[in-house]
Amino acid sequence: GENVEQHPSTLSVQEGDSAVIKCTYSDSASNYFPWYKQELGKGPQLIIDIRSNVGEKKDQRIAVTLNKTAKHFSLHITETQPEDSAVYFCAASNGAAGNKLTFGGGTRVLVKP
């Protein structure tokens, strides 16, 4: 089955700096790569996603890049703010069984004011 590795497990940045989280996946058939943000005591929420026919996608201060050849994808957050502090999860799916997502281990991001 699919295996998704996520690094780093924790990330501390100064407010205004950029944050980058990287994920690798094992199943070459995976074609959908979402990112979720989880705030304390809440369920994860989708923040951005990318499909395999696209190399990069941007939404305001967040962007995701995908390298299918190397089987890795990354989340970039620019101009970080304290409200960006949360746990972030990457995930991958090949669409073969509904919306069955395999998640990475998560990255705890702390933005210091």
Partner 1 sequence: NAGVTQTPKFQVLKTGQSMTLQCAQDMNHEYMSWYRQDPGMGLRLIHYSVGAGITDQGEVPNGYNVSRSTTEDFPLRLLSAAPSQTSVYFCASSRLQTGELFFGEGSRLTVL
Binding site for partner 1 (CB under 8 A): 1, 4, 6, 9, 31-32, 34, 36, 41-46, 49, 51, 89, 93, 95, 97-106
Distance between CA atoms of 57 and 96, rounded to whole angstroms? 24
Distance between CA atoms of 8 and 34, rounded to whole angstroms? 17
If the CB atoms of residues 52 and 78 are measured against partner 1, the closer one turns out to be: 52
If the CB atoms of residues 31 and 74 are measured against partner 1, the closer one turns out to be: 31
* CA distance to 26, 52, 54, 81, per residue, from 92 (Å): 10, 11, 15, 27
Minimum distance from CB of 97 to partner 1 (Å)? 7
If the CB atoms of residues 91 and 111 are measured against partner 1, the closer one turns out to be: 91
Distance between CA atoms of 18 and 3, rounded to whole angstroms? 27
Minimum distance from CB of 29 to partner 1 (Å)? 12
If the CB atoms of residues 86 and 106 are measured against partner 1, the closer one turns out to be: 106
Minimum distance from CB of 10 to partner 1 (Å)? 10
Q: Is 92 exposed, middle or buried (0-12, 13-18, 19+ CB in 10 A)?
A: buried
Selection from 90, 104, 88, 102 nearest residue 29 by Cα? 102
Minimum distance from CB of 102 to partner 1 (Å)? 7
